[in-house]
Amino acid sequence: MKPKLLILELWGLGDLVIATPFILAAAQKYAVTLLAKPFALEMQTRLWPTVEIVPFAAPWTAFRFGSKYGLWRWPWWELLRLRREFAAKNFDCAVSGRWDPRDHFLLRAVGARERFGFPRWKSDCFLTHPLLRPPPTAHRSEYWRVAGAALGLTVPTSGKPFGASPRPASSVILIHTGARLPLRVWPLHNFHVILRRLRQKQYIVQIACDEDQIAWWRDQGEVATCPRTVTELFCCLDQVSVFIGNDSGPGHLAASCGLPTFTLFGPQLHEWFAPMHPAAEWIEGKACPYKPCSDYCRYPTPYCLWKITEDEAWARIEPFVSLHLGEPGHNCSKS
């Protein structure tokens, strides 16, 4: 019987994709339970079919101050239920890839015998195996590689896409203009300029966007898709060959599906969050004294991202698309 391992990755879609090589390596040696946001259930069949998913929206991962730090609003009964449920499982090991004391307290609270994590603010008191953090410029995947080594696992850093599936022959470009956080959204009119230039070169382009953007695209005469679930996003990605978008979860999911990705970075650093695909490319946001930022911007607009001009982006996107799709055909469509 395999030993039991609890993995915590409680944050966003991209974070969960980045953790996937570790999860897959762990599943070969351990009976894995993954505690993650509810959308992980939609990723299970495609990415980790042998892993048990326990959905949980941790209150400290909210993107609003009131929900994140208002302890009186936290779902305490749900937290207590989760503690009892996990304590009964008698986990042999538990691991978090984040330097987050709240994660480490949870690992301790559920009674896992061996607890692995990256201590911060003296949270090593909750851990049996405090791990040394990678260098400051390391990609987020490096934390999972270090954790894997401590657990006796070999976690690949690149290679075959782990979420790829058979797809029809396609030369379609998907531009996804959304992001979970507004400060990571390049202006829509800039994306529209890129879209027109690609179509002028006879490329076939589809638009996917967030719900609050779809009216804008319709006003421009575009038939945009609005994937509201991870399942719907998978369906979009399975029909295209190249992905262009913001620094957000859809780009990481596209890379996991085997798509070359082009990412527009703003407040974050590509060294930390570039999609895990050997053909991934990006353009870096402008310099800012407060960069990198995670959830909030000190200015009215995120100029680190918004000051990337259409011409600057096009100078990088045009050769990227040409490299992966070659010379465009003569059939152009507003799909």
- Condensed to tens digits (0 to 9), the pLDDT of residues 181-194 reads 889 999 999 999 99
- The sheet carrying 4-8 orders its strands as 52-55, 31-36, 4-8, 93-96, 114-117, 129-130
SS (H, E, C) 142-177: HHHHHHHHHCCCCCCCCCCCCCCCCCCCCCEEEEEC
Q: pTM score, two decimals?
A: 0.90
The residue with tokens 């680190």 is 304
* pLDDT score at 66: 46
Domains of the chain: 4-150 (3.40.50.2000), 172-325 (3.40.50.2000)
Q: Which of 251, 252, 279, 254 is nearest to 17 (CA)?
A: 252
The overall average pLDDT reported for the chain is 89
Q: What is the pLDDT of residue 25?
A: 95
Strand partners, 55: 36
Q: pLDDT of 29-75, one tens digit each?
A: 999 999 999 999 999 999 999 999 999 988 777 655 445 555 556 67
For residues 235 and 167, the answer to whether their CB atoms sit within 8 Å is no
Q: What is the DSSP letter of 225?
A: B
Amino acid identity of residue 84, one-letter, is: R
What does the alpha-carbon distance between residue 333 and residue 3 come to, in Å, rounded to a whole number?
53
